[in-house]
Amino acid sequence: MLTSLADGRLLADKTGATPPTVVALHGWARSGADFASIVSGLDAVAPHLPGFGATDEPPAVWGTEDYADLVAEAIAPFGPVVILGHSFGGRVAVRLAARHPQLVRGLVLTGVPLLRPPATSKPKLQFRVVRALAKRGILPESMLEKQRQKHGSRDYVNSSGIMRGVMVRTVNESYGDDLAAIRVPVRMVWGENDTEAPMPLGRNASGLIDGAAFRVVEGGGHLLEGDVAAAVREELLVVIEETR
């Protein structure tokens, strides 16, 4: 069932009793419903982060620190809790653990883009030319938008307005200092074939967290389904017991 947090600024899927033991943060363009099978039978809330699911967009172009601060406000009455973060929600979880350590007693991260992949190639020449001319006012913004639609990522193309700004801002963030600041038990679960957050980069990120455990799900992908979902639940239960 849906419940409200932070004076109604966050809506969340709720299971079990209050206060929750687990707070689950979803990926980009997803919602708290993604965690239904993973938190089944547990006392948990899975917020719909601003701009996704049932929660309104943020009032401005937010970074993950803004999302983390809102989640901190929402869970302050019942923290510390175990935080489960997938993809974009994992970025927020890392910020939360670094900025508000008193509210976090353990972390489970899965499919989180925490380190940037090596640059492979520059944008296509046509796009670069149109972008440069549009910035100088020589070409209209509509022509630049056509090029963005043609060459941008799926998430970029499917977003607009504030949420496109959020996406651009967050993909350019760095998390190295936050990872090094984490002092709670951390378990990381990665699909072997995750193309959104490649497994080798996830393993490298785990090396920046003191004592983090890293588990690879053979044949798994990016989304919380199948063997990945089962492994995430197993690791979540371990962290709950470790930090009880």
Domain boundaries, the chain: 2-116+174-242, 125-165
Q: Which residue has the higher pLDDT, 126 or 121?
A: 126
Structural contact between residues 120 and 133, judged by C-beta atoms closer than 8 angstroms: no
Give the mean pLDDT of the chain: 90
DSSP letter for 81, please.
E
pLDDT tens figures, 170-227: 999 999 999 999 999 999 999 999 999 999 999 999 999 999 999 999 999 999 999 9
Q: Which residue has the higher pLDDT, 48 or 135?
A: 48
CATH superfamily of 2-116+174-242: Alpha/Beta hydrolase fold, catalytic domain (3.40.50.1820)
Mean pLDDT across the stretch 119-142?
Answer: 63
Asked whether the predicted pLDDT for residue 24 surpasses 90, the reply is: yes
User: Using alpha carbons only, what angle is made at residue 211 by residues 207 and 214, rounded to the nearest 5 degrees?
Assistant: 60
- What pLDDT is recorded for position 160? 76
Structural contact between residues 204 and 176, judged by C-beta atoms closer than 8 angstroms: no
- What pLDDT is recorded for position 81? 98
Q: What is each CA distance from 124 to 99, 120, 221, in whole angstroms?
A: 38, 12, 28
- Predicted TM-score (pTM) of this structure: 0.87
Mean pLDDT across the stretch 64-88?
Answer: 97
Q: Which residues contact 129 (CB under 8 A, 6 or more apart)?
A: none
Q: Confidence class of residue 150 from pLDDT cuts 50, 70 and 90?
A: low
Asked whether the predicted pLDDT for residue 147 surpasses 80, the reply is: no
